[in-house]
A and B are shown apart, each in its own frame.
Chain A
Amino acid sequence: MKRRLLISVLSLFLLTGCQLASDGPEEGQLVGVYFTTDVVSIPGTELEVDNISSAGSISLTEGQPGGRLYAQELNDETGDIYYDFPGLNGVAFYQIPVVGEDGQVRSIQENNQAIQERHLSTAIEDGEETSTVKGVLYAPTWGEQKCLFANLIYQTEDGKVYLEATPDAFDCASMLEEGAYVGYTWSSTTMVETSEGTKTSGLVFEYGYHGKNPVKKVVFTQMTADHQPISTGEYPVDQMPDSFEVDPDAAYILAESHCINGQGVSYVDRILLDRNDQDDRTFTTYVQEIPGILSRRTTTILWEEVGE
Chain B
Amino acid sequence: MKIKWLPILLAMTLLSGCQLAQEDTVVSDTEDRLIGLFVTKDQRASVDAALGEDGRYYATVETRTNINPSTGEEFTNEVYTFPDLEGMYYYFIIDRSDPEVVSSITGPNEGVFDQGTAYGTGTGDEAVLYASFYVAREDDMTIIHGNPIYMTEDGQVYIASGGPGFSFSDTEDEGSMGSVTQSQTTTLTVGDETEEWSITAKASIAFRSVPHTIVLLQMDDQGNCLHRTAFDPGQAPERLTPEEKTAYFIVESWGTKASGEPTTIREIVDRDETNLITWYLLDNGFFMNQVTYLDWEG
The chain A residues found within 8 Å of chain B, CB to CB, are 1-3, 5-6, 15, 17, 123, 125, 185, 187, 202, 204, 206, 221, 223, 225, 227, 229, 251-252, 254, 268-272, 274, 276, 278
Contact = CB atoms under 8 A, between A and B. Distances in A.
Contacts of A123: 122-123
B10 interface: no
Given A15-B2, A17-B2, A125 B123 contact: yes
Contact of B3 (A2, A3, A125, A206): A206
Interface string B209-242: 0000000010101010100000000000000000
B98 interface: no
A3 B221 contact: no
Contacts of B277: 3
B273 interface: yes
Contact of A276 (B11, B123, B264): B264
Contacts of A276: 263-264
Contacts of A204: 1, 3
A155 to B, nearest CB: 20
Nearest to B4: A15
B138 to A, nearest CB: 22
Given A15-B2, A204-B1, A276-B263, A221 B223 contact: yes
B221 A272 contact: no
Contact of B225 (A125, A221, A227, A252): A227
B141 interface: no
Given A5-B272, A17-B2, A123-B122, A268 B221 contact: yes
A2 B268 CA distance: 5
A15 B4 CA distance: 9
A233 to B, nearest CB: 13
Contacts of B123: 123, 125
Contacts of B3: 15, 185, 204, 206
* Shortest 5 CB-CB contacts between residues of A and residues of B: A187-B1, A2-B268, A272-B268, A17-B1, A272-B266
Nearest to A189: B1
Interface in B253-271: 263-270
B248 interface: yes
**Interface core residue of A254, A274, A276 (most chain B CB under 10 Å):** A276
B268 A278 contact: no
A2 B251 CA distance: 10
**Interface core residue of B2, B11, B270 (most chain A CB under 10 Å):** B270
Contacts of B15: none
B1 A185 contact: yes
A270 B266 contact: no
Contacts of A225: 264
B190 interface: no
B267 A5 contact: no
13 contacts: A2-B268, A2-B270, A5-B11, A6-B9, A17-B1, A17-B2, A202-B1, A221-B223, A227-B217, A227-B219, A268-B221, A272-B268, A278-B175
Nearest to A126: B123
Contact of A5 (B221, B263, B264, B273): B273
Contacts of B247: 268
A3 B269 contact: yes
**Interface core residue of B3, B9, B263 (most chain A CB under 10 Å):** B3
B1 A271 contact: no
Given A5-B273, A17-B1, 6 more contacts: A2-B267, A3-B273, A204-B3, A229-B223, A272-B266, A274-B265
A252 B1 contact: no
A221 B277 CA distance: 24
B266 to A, nearest CB: 5
Contact of B268 (A15, A187, A206, A271): A271
B250 interface: yes
Contacts of A254: 223, 268
A252 B223 contact: no
A252 B268 CA distance: 12
A270 B270 contact: yes
Given A3-B269, A15-B2, A204-B1, A270 B175 contact: no
Contacts of B225: 227
A272 B217 contact: no
A218 to B, nearest CB: 15
Given A3-B273, A206-B3, A227-B225, A274 B248 contact: no
A221 B220 CA distance: 14
Contact of B223 (A187, A223, A271): A223
A274 B266 contact: yes
Contacts of B219: 227
A187 B175 CA distance: 40
Interface string B264-287: 111111101100010000000000
Contacts of B248: 270
Contacts of A125: 123
A276 B255 CA distance: 13
Contacts of B272: 5
A49 to B, nearest CB: 27
Contacts of B266: 1, 252, 272, 274
A21 B265 CA distance: 57
A185 B277 CA distance: 39
